[in-house]
Every structure is written in structure tokens, then in C-alpha cells.
Structure 1
């Protein structure tokens, strides 16, 4: 994994770095995220097996699962997994390296350089007990959150996450069009209307033997949702 050699002095610099990263890491995965078409949702294998079969999108994710010591969760437990792609992992690692370099610390060269506790904490944000499909979640309208707020759920590490389905419009008729699942990180769980980061799902209702996978779209930029929290936890667990 390449190390970024950029220094920032304030959040304005970081905003610029974000834009550079997002442009630089836009890879040729667009077709995957645009439309999955009609396919058989059932998969004759575990969640981990499914991810391993698609290394172009999930090779780093599979490595993180193994580093976090969560193989059994993804092969034996019945879970719903909102799968982030390697695109978001790369972005978060690059932000980590920007911060480490600016602080005069060694940047990471491989995913193994991150403490397993950090990987486990942030991986667990995307994981929920039980097998839930799109139809099992309530409606959310980000313009009318008081009316259609989705619902808060506890992830595997007890982080409060909001999950809801956006009902699209069709022929100028509200809520009768496509439906898209969203996983939302709430900075302040009691104030979803004020501070949240949403991650739309590109492919929903993939059904391996031990649960359900909803693959997040390329619009989910950062693994763990908050790269600055990730940086802070990295330093805490490294004792820096």
C-alpha cells in the first residue's frame, strides 16, 4: 500500500487532501456499483466465502476480518453484514498515513501494522445479529426525518447505527419508485437530524448460508465512517 507524502496544517488542508484522495482512488469499479441487475440472491457458502470469491472488491476486507480474529463470526454466526469495499479501506488508511506523517511518526506499510483491536472495533460497526433483508427495515427520508426516521440498531460492538430504506419517486409520485437501503452513522444518537453520515447500499439481499450481505456503494468513502476517530484509536492502541 502506497504511503502518502503530504503534510497538512489545518482542516482546510485536510479537505483538500480528501478531494485528492477521492479522485486518485476512483478505480474501475464503477460498473459494479451502478446496477447489479436481476440475479439469484442465494449463495451456497458462508459470508466469508462470498467475500473471498470477490477479491477485486473485498481482498483487504477479508484480510481485516482475519486480523481482527473474526473468522468464526463470518462463518458460524447468523448475521447481517453491510460490507464496505476496499475503496473505503484504502481511503481511511491513506488519511491515517497523512496524519502520522504530519506528526513525524512512521506511516503504515501493510494492514498488519494496525492493531487488531482497531480493526475489530470498526469492522463491528457494519455487523448486526440476525439475518435481515431490505424488507425488514423501516422507511427513511433524509428530508423528513421526523416523519420517516428509519430505526436505530445496535451493531456488534454496541455502536448505535441507523438503518432505513429510501423510497424513491416515480412519474412524479412520491415513494412509489425504487427502494434503496442505507446504513447511517450517527455522531449523536439522540440527534440524528443534526449529525449523521449515510452510506447507501449498492447490492442488497445477498443470502449466504449464515446471514445476509448488503454491499455498500462506492459513495461510502471511509471505512469506519470517521477517519479521525480511526486515527485517534490507532494512536491509543499503539500507545503513541
Structure 2
């Protein structure tokens, strides 16, 4: 009898402990399934944003000013909606820079208005450029077609295009934290401005707070309040001094490369598809590669003859896919122009005017765009880029030079 009583007490204690453990250590729910939010399906994306007064007023302001209202009303799109706070952070950052430069503050209404009513040509051009930059940034948050968070769940996510300019963005489904479990919460989207870069390390990423809000014509995702409108490029875009336009037109202009006599060098010799014309195809995915020999004074020369004489006061080159690893970037060169008519490369050197000379140039990465300016107002009939040195300056025989893009530019002094 005594043993039975003891066993009963022992059993009761075990049951009590088990109940306490079960109650205090509730099983984790694990990953949450993301399902479209109900109750917004009778609204368009534009109406949904308007139904949240005090939250998306800034977004609606620029949407109305830049002509996105119709898109958010009747087009099939995905929206990543930044809140008023996102715009506030961006504008505050911009005005902090402007204050340090002794400039007056600027506000979102001014940026959205552009150059309307501004009489000074330079100020009007600047305001219109700012409005165009604002347009590009607003478009980053509106994608062609509808995507739910599940569409961003495969592998490393999905590349997507904006409704204007087809600007490349990227989305990847992730999970928030919940109940002490890292990654055990609701589905979110890590949304990224790719900056047109092939390298993920160059992307600017931000997260949503809510996803998959279904409207009549769109899927709406809400950006975190700490997200900065424009990702990390708002200030740089609004303080940008734009690159002057490229004046090379490969459809109408003459373009050719000349290799020194006796060198045996030819276009496409190193690799059949990596030829001179690739410099003018507007993509860093292709390149031009050739030999150069300082020891033998064999300097390849790149020629451009515009259809009509054209002034140039700036130029750029973009390094290629593996230039840095193999020391193939240009180290020294000179840019020249001539008033003679170079139907071929027989124009005497004396008739070429040196406009710019660069030496000991260093490049920091592959796909790096670099620009150089010089003073010139003369409309020369032709220009040439004479390659003098490449790599690290050690000058072994038959060293390789490569770039992916070459532009010649002109900046109007009044712009």
C-alpha cells in the first residue's frame, strides 16, 4: 500500500513536469506561408495607396507629377511602396549636403515639378535633370507584370525590369524572425537596385515589411520604414554632374584601327570575336583586345572620323571583364585630332594636334568606367587614340591591351 502511494505521487509529479515543459516550450511554427492579403482586391494599386492617408502621400505626389497614375490603375504591375518616412530620410540627406555647400534646401514638390517656370537656362536644365532622375527612381518601385513573393523564391531570386526604361532590379524571398527562431517568421522580399552591375556586392538592398497585397491590377509590397527612397543613390543622383553625351555614331561615322607596319598585329588576332567594333555596342559584355609592344614601338591606334566635323572635350573608357587580373588596362595614351581628311591613316603625324595625354593610369576594378576632360572647342574632322603602354609598366613584348567601351564626348559650356 505504501509503495502504491509513493508510485502515485511520483507519477503525478512526472505528469506535472511534462505539462510545464510542454506549455513553456511550445513547438515552433517554423516558416510561415505567405498568402495574398484579402480585402484589397476591389481596389486598384493607386486606390490602395490613396486609402492609406499619412503613409504614402509622398509616393502619390511623385506618381501624379510623373504620370504613373494610369499605370497604377490599369496596368498589370508589382509595386514596392516606399512610405513617407523613406522620402523624408532621402530629402533630409540631400539637404544636409546642400547646406554644407551653402545651397538652399530643396523639397520633393520642387524636384517633381522640374524646370517649369524657371527662366535661367542652366537652372532650368538642372531642374529637368533632377526630375528625370526622380522619374528613374520612382520607376524602380514599379515592375512590369505581377510577382508574388513565391516568384522570388527560386535559387538566388529573380531579376525583374521596371515599367520605364527596363531598369534591372532583383528580388529574393527571405524570412523574418519569429518566436526566437531566426528565419522562422513571415515571408519578406529582399529588393535590390542592381546598379546595372554583374556583381551582387555592388547592389543596394532593402527589405519589405509586408508582401503580396493583392489589388485589382497589381501585387503591392510595402517597404520598411527605414528604407531610403532611391536606395543609396538619391543624393548622388540629385547632385550628379552628368557625363556629356557620346558623339560617336557607329551607324554614320567611320571607325577603324591601325596596327604598326611590321608588327603582324591584326584586329581579332587575339580572339576572333573580340574586335574593335565592340567598343561601340553599348555593352560591357563584349570587348576589344589587341597586342602592343613598347619594346618595338608598336603602338595600335584607334581612329574615329565623324560624319561631320565635331568638337570633343571629353572621353571615356570602360575596363573589360578580366582586365584587372591580367594587367590589360591602358596605362598611357594620347588623344589627337586633325583638320585634315584622313581617308586612310596616311595623314602625317605633324597634322595631328595632341589634345590630351595620360600616363601611369591605374584602374581599380573590372568594368570600371573612367572619364577624362580637356579643353577644346575646335570641330576636328577626325580623332585618334594612340595606345602607348598597358598593364603594370614592365613592358614585356607583345603585351595585351583591352577595353569594353570607348566614347568621345562634348560638354556644352552653357549646360
Which 5+ residue runs of structure 1 have no aligned equivalent? 1-36, 140-147
Q: 1:179 to 1:99 in 2, by over 3 A?
A: same
> Is the Cα contact below 8 Å between 1:99 and 1:231 reproduced in 2?
no
TM-score normalized by structure 2?
0.41
Q: Distance in 2 between matches of 1:169 and 1:99?
A: 36
In 2, distance between residues paired with 1:178 and 1:80?
19
Q: Give yes or no for the alignment of 1:198 onto 2:201.
A: no
* Match 1:155 to one of 135, 152, 162: 162
Choose which of 60, 73, 76 in structure 2 pairs with 1:75: 73
User: Which residue in the other structure is 2:223 paired with?
Assistant: 216
* Distance (Å, rounded) in 2 between the aligned partners of 1:99 and 1:78: 38
State which of 106, 110, 116 in structure 2 corresponds to 1:113: 110
- Cα offset, 1:80, TM superposition: 0.3
Partner of 1:184: 192
Secondary structure in structure 1 of the residue aligned to 2:239? helix
Q: What is the SS of the residue equivalent to 1:228? A: helix
In structure 2, the partner of 1:130 is: 145
Secondary structure of the residue aligned to 1:106 is coil
The Cα shift of 1:124 comes to 0.2
CA distance in 1, matches of 2:145, 2:40: 16
State the aligned residue count: 190
1:53 matched to which residue of 2?
Answer: 51
- Conservation of the 8 A alpha-carbon contact between 2:36 and 2:214: no
| Closer, same or farther: CA 64–209 of 1 in aligned 2, 3 Å | same
TM superposition shift of 1:171: 9.5
Q: Give the whole-Å Cα distance in 2 for the aligned partners of 1:95 and 1:172.
A: 35
| CA contact 1:68–1:117 (8 Å) conserved in 2 | no
State the distance in 2 between where 1:66 and 1:131 align: 21
The normalised TM-score by structure 1 is 0.69
Unaligned runs of 5+ in 2: 1-34, 115-130, 243-413
Residue 188 (structure 1) shift:
5.3
Deviation, structure 1 residue 227: 2.7
User: Higher relative contact order by CA 8 Å / sep ≥ 6: 1 or 2?
Assistant: 1
Report runs of 4+ in structure 1 exceeding 4 Å deviation: 167-177
1:177-220 per-position Cα deviation (integer Å, ceiling 9, x unaligned): 6422121122452100x222221111111111111100111231
**Contact residue 160 and residue 189 of structure 1 kept, 8 A:** no
Question: Contact 1:43 / 1:50 at 8 angstroms: preserved in 2?
Answer: no
Distance 1:200 1:41, change over 3 A: farther
1:35-82 residue CA offsets vs partner (Å, 9 max, x unmatched): xx9952533121111111112210111111111122111112111001
SS in 2 for 1:181: strand
Show the 5 A alignment for 1:31-110.
40=38, 42-108=40-106, 110=107
Q: Is the 8 A contact 2:77 2:144 kept in 1?
A: yes
SS at match of 1:161: strand
Once the 2 structures are TM-superposed, how far is the Cα of residue 151 of structure 1 from its aligned partner?
2.1
Q: State which structure, 1 or 2, has the greater radius of gyration over its C-alpha atoms.
A: 2
Instruction: Give the Å deviation of 1:86.
Output: 0.9
- Between the aligned partners of 1:60 and 1:230, the Cα distance in structure 2 is 18
Structure with the larger strand share: 2
* 2:235 aligned counterpart, secondary structure: helix
| In 2: Cα distance, 1:50 partner to 1:170 partner | 28
Aligned partners of 2:138 and 2:62: how far apart in 1? 8
Name the CA distance, whole Å, in 1 between partners of 2:184 and 2:103.
53
Change (3 A) 1:171 1:223: closer
User: For the Cα contact (< 8 Å) 2:40–2:48, is it kept in 1?
Assistant: no
